[in-house]
Structure 1
Amino acid sequence: MSTTLVHLAGDDTRPLLVVGPSLGTSAETLWSTAADLLGAHFHVVGWDLPGHGRNAWVPEGDLVMADLAADVLAAVDQLTGPGAAFDYAGDSVGGAVGLQLLLDAPERIRSATLLCTGARIGDEDAWSARAEAVTASGTPSLVSASAGRWFGPGFLDREPARGSALLHALSSVQDRGYVAVCGALAAFDVRDRLGGITAPVLAVAGAHDVATPPANLREIADGVQRGRLVVLDEVAHLAPIESPAEVAHLVRETARRGTAGPRDDATVAEVRAAGMAVRREVLGEAHVDRATAGITGFTREFQEFITEYAWGGIWTRPGLDRRSRSMITLTALIARAHHGELAMHVRAALGNGLTVAEIKEVLLQSAIYCGVPDANHAFQIAQTVFDELGVDTGR
């Protein structure tokens, strides 16, 4: 085994969350701030790439992504005992390792938050050129270019100490370790295997990320069975340090998805709790809080009924992802002219990863099979929702 875990926050009485770094960073410099926010919910541990941070080991020969994933599993086994399941979050190559874990050991990963990454990152020629530059001039030669590529607008002015710590970590990376990881990235391509991933996956993109643009994360969210995409507006390539509070929140929500589905032998209370978790994720905390605050003795049983049967019995099922369920729900609401529910589910569809263009296609399809007047009203409702949310519809 060549990887050891680095304790970041929490303790072993909490569920295990393993976090992975970006190339040129360490788990501590990249994840410590977000980990502090996660420590009340998880035992947060990180791992370092070869020659990075606390990992002094570097490979003698070629390195592939499966090697890194196997090392992470071995380190977790040493911490928890063999076979323990855990939640995972990783940035850039750390996210690529997350995809490899989901493919190689799906039973071990409860949920995955994959940030600023891709099922294929760059191309072989670019990674070969990067490796040659480091071999010739060392990792300190990358600092200037990385400062411009890693961070969103204004980050270094707002957070000079954090930015400086990350760039210092880059200059301290062993050259051979950095080059070995470049080789692993050059060979990594799992785009044709994404459909086999069944665990809940949140793909998080930085709007200003040049290395792994939002399209890379959209590909992951669309390709896996239970994927969702979030784009962070002020972020470039290192989301955990650029937006730690938002990342911590997203990791918690994704982990909750990993435990939301009830077991076959679940009690009514467990099914209802799972349904409430999904209901909050799909409709939003504020909406559900308003609905539950308005419960009376007259409406209580109905609210429990829909939470248990609709959200706990149907929305938690793994057979369809939430994007597909949103499309079906929009169509059904249009067909039945349930206009009061439609606005709520247009909002939910955006949260489940549908784009404005995709919602438009659902409404156009509904015009044929449900009726033009129904679709006309649906377009008006959807446009009102987009206007309220400030969503650009291309006017």
Structure 2
Amino acid sequence: MTVPTLPATELAGDASRPLLIVGPSLGTTCATLWASTARLLGDVFHVVGWDLPGHGGAPVGGAFTMAELARGVLELADRVGVARGDAGTFAYAGDSVGGAVGLQLLLDDPDRVDAAVLLCTGARIGDEAMWRDRAALVRTSGTPSMVAGSAERWFAPGFLDREPATGSALLHALSDTDDEGYAQVCDALATFDVRGRLGEIATPVLTIAGAHDGPTPPESLAAIAHGVQHGRSVVLGEAAHLAPAEAPETVAALLRGHLQPVPTPIRRVAEPSADADRAATRQIADGADGDAYARGMAVRRAVLGDAHVDRATERADDLTAPFQELITRYAWGEVWGRDGLDRPTRSMLTLALLAALGHEAELAMHVRAALRNGLTREQVAEVLIHTGVYAGVPVSNSALGVMQRVFAEIDAADGAL
């Protein structure tokens, strides 16, 4: 058994920013899986990825365990730290086997990882017989034999039609993966099982599941979040097994919210003084509400988009800033951030209520949000038609008009590109 030497790939940001190390799924490279999400994080993190043995040109050595693979990531972190001029802690995010490595890191060397996001993974993935069989198949028939099955397992319905270039790059990376390197990872996964040790993990953990993920379904991620000491889980309605590539904007927003230091929301209070020049802005800490605010901001950005949230916060003044904090913390953090309903369902409920109450400006905003949350245009229309049966025909008539205007604006903007 050996500790693999894992090459580091610079994905975004620079050494002046906090270090975020991201890990790949079996059969992918960190660049093909994480590039889009990393670009969205480069303003706040120095994002560095690692590749599995035999993946993306990484060398293939002897057999290894998951614990030794995690040790390889720590050695990579040390090398990156030397290049950065620091050898401190880092944030970590990993998908599938990359997430399993994250769990191993949190168990073996928790003081090195500040916070972790584990995506589309499990404390136990599959079973030993499955992984041994797959390793044998790949050693006999090569990684190209895995492409057809992976195309079905990896992506949510319709993704390959919407994003053919991204899907093609990921599948080509799989086909190009070294057969022995792929098989060695299968052998390491065959004996990986830390389900009984989750309670040892005290590092804050966010798990992200894909609603369409068969290999590691949402229940697998929820079990991790419930098993660790400080965890929570989010389900993405628009993703399957490769969430960083399928939903980069949503994943980036969630990573920002979980991995950055919890921001102290600013409540602007004019100091009592007759002299306007002495009026000041001071920060009032929210204490336990800080986590809800950070979670709410991540969810709000994921649902409404960065541009909308940035406009809303930039327009805030001394009188309206407290309201922006309120809706971020409670509406988005405490309600939209709950696990009981997925986001497409919350979008449908919101559309129906806003239509019934006649809040057309908010309805237009949430028609756009519903599309971001994975609803089709036909599903949006169905919700608004259904609402008319219970809230009145004029309600549907007005709401469908708002919907048509939003779709026309979207189409016009797309045509201008």
Q: Same fold (TM over 0.5)?
A: yes
Kindly indicate whether the alpha-carbon contact (under 8 Å) linking 2:292 and 2:334 is maintained by their aligned counterparts in 1: no
For residue 162 of structure 1, report the CA deviation from its aligned partner.
Answer: 1.1
Alpha-carbon distance in structure 2 between the residues aligned to 1:124 and 1:201: 26
What SS is found at the alignment partner of 1:30? Answer: helix
Instruction: Judge conservation of contact 2:292–2:333 (CA < 8 Å) in 1.
Output: no
Q: Note the C-alpha offset of 1:350.
A: 5.8
Provide the C-alpha distance between the structure 2 equivalents of 1:270 and 1:346, rounded to a whole number of angstroms. Answer: 21
Aligned to 1:14: 17
Q: Distance in 1 between matches of 2:262 and 2:72?
A: 25
Is the partner of 2:43 in helix, strand or coil? Answer: coil
In structure 1, what is the Cα distance between the partners aligned to 2:335 and 2:286? Answer: 22
* Aligned pair partner of 2:337 in 346, 351, 362: 351
After superposition, residues 74-153 of structure 1 pair within 5 angstroms as 74-81=75-82, 83-153=87-157
Within 5 Å, give how 1:285-324 maps onto structure 2: none
Q: Secondary structure at the residue paired with 2:126?
A: coil
- Indicate the percent of aligned positions where both proteins have the same amino acid: 52
Contact 1:203 1:228 (C-alpha < 8 Å) held by counterparts = yes
Letter in 2 for 1:102: L
Offset at residue 50 of structure 1 (A): 0.5
Alpha-carbon distance change, 133 to 200 in structure 1, aligned in 2, over 3 angstroms: same
Residue 385 of structure 1 deviates from its aligned partner by: 8.9
Number of residue-to-residue matches in the alignment: 315
Give the aligned residue type for 1:66. A
- Which among 237, 244, 249 is matched to residue 253 of structure 2? 249
1:197 to 201, 209, 214: 201
Deviation readout 1:165-199 (Å, 9 max, x if unpaired):
11111111111111110011111111111111112
CA positional deviation for 1:6: 0.5
In 1, distance between residues paired with 2:133 and 2:94? 25
Q: CA RMSD in A?
A: 3.5
Say if 2:36 is the partner of 1:33.
yes
8 Å contact from structure 2 (residues 297, 332) kept in 1:
no
- SS of residue in 1 equivalent to 2:6: coil
One-letter identity of the residue aligned with 2:76:
A
**1:238 CA drift (Å):** 0.5
> What's the CA shift for 1:295?
5.8
Cα separation, 1, equivalents of 2:91 and 2:170: 25
Partner of 2:231: 227
**Superposed counterparts of 1:206-225, under 5 Å:** 206-225=210-229
Measure, in 1, the Cα distance between the counterparts of 2:76 and 2:169.
26
Q: Residues 346 and 246 of structure 1: is their aligned pair in 2 closer, same or farther, counting only changes over 3 Å?
A: closer
The equivalent of 2:66 in structure 1 is 65
**Aligned residue type for 1:48:** D
1:51 aligns with 2:81: no
**Per the alignment, in what secondary structure is the counterpart of residue 219 of structure 1?**
helix
Q: What is the CA-CA distance between 1:349 and the residue it aligns to?
A: 5.7
Q: Distance in 1 between matches of 2:60 and 2:153?
A: 26
Contact 2:262 2:294 in 1 (8 A): no
One-letter amino acid of the structure 2 residue matched with residue 228 of structure 1: R
Partners in 2 of 1:168 and 1:282 — Cα distance? Answer: 35
Could you tell me which residue of structure 1 aligns to residue 397 of structure 2? none
Q: Where does structure 1 differ by over 3 angstroms across 4 or more consecutive aligned residues?
A: 258-261, 273-277, 282-286, 292-296, 343-347, 384-390
Query: Judging changes above 3 Å, is the alpha-carbon distance between structure 1 residues 271 and 93 closer, same or farther for their aligned structure 2 residues?
Result: farther
- Provide the C-alpha distance between the structure 2 equivalents of 1:212 and 1:60, rounded to a whole number of angstroms: 27
Alpha-carbon distance, 1:278 to partner: 2.5
Give the C-alpha shift of residue 54 in structure 1: 3.1
- SS of the aligned residue for 1:33 comes to helix
